[in-house]
């Protein structure tokens, strides 16, 4: 069992997703969706908030901020065609992460 998730007698690992979100909100943090991929991040965040710890970046390099799934953004990439095919450029879309 991870003792870092037990704070003031509260075992954060045993909280339901709803309880975890409610605890975070009570401490002034508005979490995004709590799913399998974000749950451990929010558990650590709650533990830090309960201990009154504030970090810009934690030891395991998780940025201490809201975690929300972000949609992929498309970026238009210009790639001119060789002059023997056409004089107008062609465009393709490539996903970029922002």
Tell me how far CA of residue 13 lies from CA of 9, 27, 40, 42, in angstroms. 12, 17, 9, 10
Give a yes or no: residue 12 inside a domain.
yes
With respect to residue 68, please indicate whether it lies within any of the assigned structural domains: no
15 pLDDT tier (thresholds 50, 70, 90): very high
pLDDT tens-digit profile of 51-61?
987 554 444 44
Assess if residue 58 is contained within a domain.
no
**What is the domain range of residue 31?**
6-51
Which residue spans within the chain are E strands per DSSP? 6-7, 10-11, 73-79, 90-96
Instruction: Please give the model's pTM, rounded to 2 decimal places.
Output: 0.53
Residue 18 maps to which CATH number? 1.10.720.40
Q: Specify if 10 maps to a domain.
A: yes
Residue 93 covered by a domain: no
| Total domains in the fold of the chain | 1
Over the stretch 59-96, which tens digit does the pLDDT of each residue have?
Answer: 444 444 444 444 454 445 555 555 555 555 566 666 66
């Amino acid at each position: 069992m991870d003792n870092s998730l037990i704070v003031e007698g509260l075992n954060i690992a045993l909280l339901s997703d709803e309880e975890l979100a409610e605890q975070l909100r009570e401490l002034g943090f508005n979490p995004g969706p709590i799913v399998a991929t974000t749950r451990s991040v929010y558990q650590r965040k709650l533990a830090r908030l309960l201990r009154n710890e504030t970090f810009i970046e934690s030891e395991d390099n998780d940025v201490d901020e809201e975690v929300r799934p972000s949609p992929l953004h498309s970026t238009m990439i210009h790639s001119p065609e060789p002059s023997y095919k056409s004089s107008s450029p062609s465009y393709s879309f490539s996903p970029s992460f922002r």
